[in-house]
Homo-oligomer: A and B are copies of this chain.
Amino acid sequence: MKKAAATRLNILQKAFELIYINGYQTTSIDHIIATTQVTKGAFFYHFKNKEEMGLAIINEILKPTLATSFLEPLQKEQDPIVVIYNLMYDLLLKNEFLKAEYGCPVANFTQEMTPWNIDFSKALAELTQEWTKAMIAAIEKGQQNGIVRKDVNAMQVTLFVVSGYWGIRNFGKLENNKTVYLSYLKELKNYLNTLK
């Protein structure tokens, strides 16, 4: 990687960490450049302002994570009920990128930036739609395979499941504890099994 690209990525990664922990508004550029050991000149060479950096975090940090941790697992040729459950299990309990006490980065950004920042809203809505589309596809494939009932509304179920995920992440944040995830996962399993 070129050195400039490395500097840029370094800024984005450290900035993401800070924002994930403290929020976008609360994380100042001064704070970011202090922890990255990068000067203000370098920062504003790579990003024309704070907002552009925030959007770059979504596109260059969150989007790749989405692909590997949220989409790929759904594209396996398996029982979608097992696949969705395992996905949630991994995201909530195993994923090292995501921490219980800081919630879901996409949900955090959504809460902080929408509806007043249109660019953020659009970028976040796109990310979310990629995930929901993949989940809907997985469920519909399960219907074709006869694993999931034909009368199940895949879009409806996806909305229900993703909402639950966002919500339980908020719970984990509130209680600063992963144990709520265990109860949630049990009930998610119960629910998913009713789709058979």
Contact = CB atoms under 8 A, between A and B. Distances in A.
**Total copies of this chain within the assembly:** 2
Contacts of A174: 110, 114, 121, 124-125, 128
Interface stretch (A33-41, A53-61, A76-84, A163-171): A163-171
A30 to B, nearest CB: 16
A144 interface: no
A184 interface: yes
Given A107-B170, A163-B171, A170-B107, A153 B186 contact: yes
29 contacts: A22-B116, A23-B25, A23-B112, A25-B25, A25-B26, A101-B114, A102-B115, A107-B167, A110-B170, A110-B173, A111-B112, A111-B170, A111-B173, A112-B112, A125-B174, A156-B183, A156-B184, A156-B190, A159-B171, A159-B180, A159-B184, A163-B164, A163-B165, A163-B168, A163-B171, A163-B184, A166-B166, A166-B167, A191-B194
Interface of A: 21-23, 25-26, 101-103, 107-108, 110-112, 114-116, 121, 124-125, 128, 153, 155-157, 159-160, 162-168, 170-171, 173-176, 180, 183-184, 186-188, 190-191, 194
